[in-house]
């Protein structure tokens, strides 16, 4: 194998795939990325056996071949290299890299030992714009669980019926749901759970400029195509909980707030709530403001006043400050509506202008 390409393209390609490489892979070759010529371009691949990523970059190929090399080492070398172009040449299992001011020899493992990244051969089922999917992922994935005791909650539910897609994530204490309208109807209903890590990686590699992303779904795998990059992932087996039963059908109080002002007050309260499991109280009363209250027997207390438009009954309700901040930090809207029923029923946060997003948060017990 011998080829040359720009440092910029090689660096971008390596960055796309290298994040999924685990330094503690069960096989030595899983610590490596695959560099392989493919129809006049350079194909760069990585896998951890759960997720696989392929990306193609333009290159001047003199001779074909392939090799796997340690991901961390080649990434550091290429990223630090300030020259415009890099020549890659393979001799046995050693990859030689040369540019105007730098050269290196990296010992690798044969390409034949690299695990095959499977293809999902079903027809394209779903197409949507890159910016829509990227935004939607950011709005739901943070609500999925980190606790491995319930694997189905460590993923994002993708439900598709006709031309409506829903992405849903929950850790049983809060839930995020995003509804996306597709341009085309899908031929069959889809109900799958995609690992949280897959969604995080997908969100990272989508630039947002892609006109469309194609999604193919196999028996236990999902395949995303975005421009010159492909991501393949295993799906999580199991049934996602029926979350609709915990979403209140109506509310007793609606409180409209500035995202920035509310976030600042919650952040202030969180400093005083560290000793009490992030427990803060919202005092919603008739008028033009709410009080955000945090009390700690160890360090003190805090009250912040936030301007608000309040419709409905007075209420005191407690929430986890972190769970509120998590959603406020990812919303683009300037205002949200907090919908509440009583102190023991889940609250709903909705952006004022985005009717396709819902964030549910379970209340904490309020001490009388």
In angstroms, rounded to a whole number, what is the distance separating the alpha carbons of residues 214 and 211?
10
Instruction: Tell me what the mean pLDDT of segment 235-258 comes to.
Output: 94
**In the prediction, which pLDDT does 368 show?**
54
Task: Please say whether the beta carbons of 142 and 176 come within 8 A.
Answer: yes
Instruction: Indicate whether 367 belongs to any domain.
Output: no
**In the prediction, which pLDDT does 211 show?**
81
**In the prediction, which pLDDT does 180 show?**
97
Instruction: Indicate whether 366 belongs to any domain.
Output: no
Does one domain contain both 232 and 264? no
Does one domain contain both 108 and 141? no
Query: Which of 71-80, 93-102, 170-179, 209-218 comes out lowest in average pLDDT?
Result: 209-218
| pLDDT of 86 strictly over 70 | yes
Is the model more confident about 124 or about 156?
A: 156
Task: Please say whether the beta carbons of 281 and 318 come within 8 A.
Answer: yes
**In the prediction, which pLDDT does 284 show?**
95
In angstroms, rounded to a whole number, what is the distance separating the alpha carbons of residues 177 and 309?
25
Instruction: Indicate whether 85 belongs to any domain.
Output: yes
Q: Which residue range is the domain that position 75 belongs to?
A: 2-113
Distance of CA 225 to the CA centre of its chain: 16
Instruction: Indicate whether 143 belongs to any domain.
Output: yes
- 244's CB contacts (< 8 A; 6+ apart) are none
Instruction: Indicate whether 368 belongs to any domain.
Output: no
Instruction: Tell me what the mean pLDDT of segment 105-120 comes to.
Output: 93
In angstroms, rounded to a whole number, what is the distance separating the alpha carbons of residues 75 and 8?
12
How do residues 279-326 score in pLDDT, each as one tens digit? 999 999 877 899 999 998 889 999 999 999 999 999 999 999 999 999
In angstroms, rounded to a whole number, what is the distance separating the alpha carbons of residues 63 and 54?
20
The values of phi and psi at residue 54, to 5°, are: -120, 140
**In the prediction, which pLDDT does 23 show?**
75
In angstroms, rounded to a whole number, what is the distance separating the alpha carbons of residues 103 and 313?
71
Instruction: Indicate whether 120 belongs to any domain.
Output: no
- Mark which of 82, 113, 144 sits at the end of a domain: 113
Instruction: Indicate whether 273 belongs to any domain.
Output: yes
Report the CATH number at residue 138: 3.10.150.10
Does one domain contain both 355 and 257? yes
Instruction: Indicate whether 329 belongs to any domain.
Output: yes
% of the chain surpassing 70 pLDDT: 98
- What's the mean per-residue pLDDT of the chain? 94
Does one domain contain both 156 and 99? no
Does one domain contain both 234 and 287? no
**In the prediction, which pLDDT does 121 show?**
74
The values of phi and psi at residue 51, to 5°, are: -125, 140
How do residues 222-232 score in pLDDT, each as one tens digit? 999 999 999 99
In angstroms, rounded to a whole number, what is the distance separating the alpha carbons of residues 305 and 292?
6
- Mark which of 113, 138, 162 sits at the end of a domain: 113
In angstroms, rounded to a whole number, what is the distance separating the alpha carbons of residues 236 and 221?
9
Does one domain contain both 203 and 167? yes
Q: Which token pair is 296?
A: 């700690």
How do residues 5-58 score in pLDDT, each as one tens digit? 999 999 999 999 999 998 776 789 999 999 999 999 999 999 999 999 999 999
Does one domain contain both 217 and 304? no
Does one domain contain both 239 and 252? no
Does one domain contain both 71 and 86? yes
Does one domain contain both 320 and 286? yes
In angstroms, rounded to a whole number, what is the distance separating the alpha carbons of residues 227 and 13?
12
Q: How confident is the model at residue 366 (pLDDT cuts 50, 70, 90)?
A: low
Does one domain contain both 88 and 166? no
The values of phi and psi at residue 321, to 5°, are: -60, -40
How do residues 166-218 score in pLDDT, each as one tens digit? 999 999 999 999 999 999 999 889 999 999 999 999 999 998 787 899 999 98
**In the prediction, which pLDDT does 219 show?**
84
For the chain, the domain total comes to 3
**In the prediction, which pLDDT does 295 show?**
92
C-beta contacts of 148-154 below 8 A and 24+ residues apart? 151/236, 151/237, 151/238, 152/193, 152/236, 152/238, 152/239, 152/240, 152/241, 153/241, 154/195, 154/196, 154/236
How do residues 132-145 score in pLDDT, each as one tens digit? 999 999 999 999 99
Q: Which token pair is 4?
A: 């040359």
**In the prediction, which pLDDT does 26 show?**
77
Does one domain contain both 219 and 253? no
What is the model's pTM? 0.93
- Mark which of 65, 92, 113 sits at the end of a domain: 113
| Class of residue 360 by CB neighbours under 10 A (exposed 0-12, middle 13-18, buried 19+) | buried
**In the prediction, which pLDDT does 367 show?**
61
């Amino acid at each position: 194998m011998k080829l040359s390409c720009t440092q910029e393209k090689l660096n971008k390609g390596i960055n796309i795939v290298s994040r999924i490489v685990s330094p503690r892979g069960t096989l030595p070759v899983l610590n490596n990325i695959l560099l392989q010529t493919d129809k006049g371009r350079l194909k760069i691949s990585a896998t951890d056996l759960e997720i696989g990523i392929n990306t193609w970059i333009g290159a001047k190929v003199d001779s074909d071949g392939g090799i796997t090399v340690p991901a961390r080492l080649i990434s550091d070398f290429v990223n630090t290299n300030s020259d415009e172009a890099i020549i890659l040449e393979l001799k046995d299992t050693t990859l030689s890299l040369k540019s105007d001011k730098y050269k290196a020899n990296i010992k690798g493992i044969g390409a034949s030992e690299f695990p095959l990244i499977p293809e999902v051969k079903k027809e394209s089922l779903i197409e949507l714009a890159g910016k829509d999917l990227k935004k939607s992922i950011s709005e739901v994935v943070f609500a999925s669980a980190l606790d491995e005791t319930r694997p189905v909650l460590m993923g994002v539910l993708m439900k598709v019926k006709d031309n409506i897609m829903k992405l849903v994530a929950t850790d049983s204490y809060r839930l995020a749901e995003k509804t996306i309208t597709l341009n085309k109807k899908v031929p069959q209903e889809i109900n799958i759970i995609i690992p949280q890590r897959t969604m995080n990686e997908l969100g990272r590699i989508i630039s947002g400029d892609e006109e469309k992303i194609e999604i193919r779904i196999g028996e236990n795998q999902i395949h995303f195509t975005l421009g010159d990059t492909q991501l393949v992932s295993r799906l999580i087996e199991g049934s996602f909980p029926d979350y609709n039963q915990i979403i209140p059908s109506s509310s007793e109080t609606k409180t409209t707030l500035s995202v920035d002002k509310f976030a600042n007050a919650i952040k202030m309260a969180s400093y005083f709530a560290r000793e009490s499991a992030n427990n803060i109280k919202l005092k919603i009363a008739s008028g033009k403001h709410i009080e955000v209250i945090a009390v700690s027997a160890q360090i003190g207390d805090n009250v912040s006043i936030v301007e608000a438009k309040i419709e409905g009954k007075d209420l005191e309700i407690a929430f986890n400050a972190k769970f509120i901040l998590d959603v406020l930090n990812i919303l683009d809207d300037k205002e949200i509506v907090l919908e509440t029923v009583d102190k023991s029923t889940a609250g709903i946060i909705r952006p004022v202008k985005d009717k396709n997003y819902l964030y549910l948060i379970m209340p904490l017990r309020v001490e009388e």
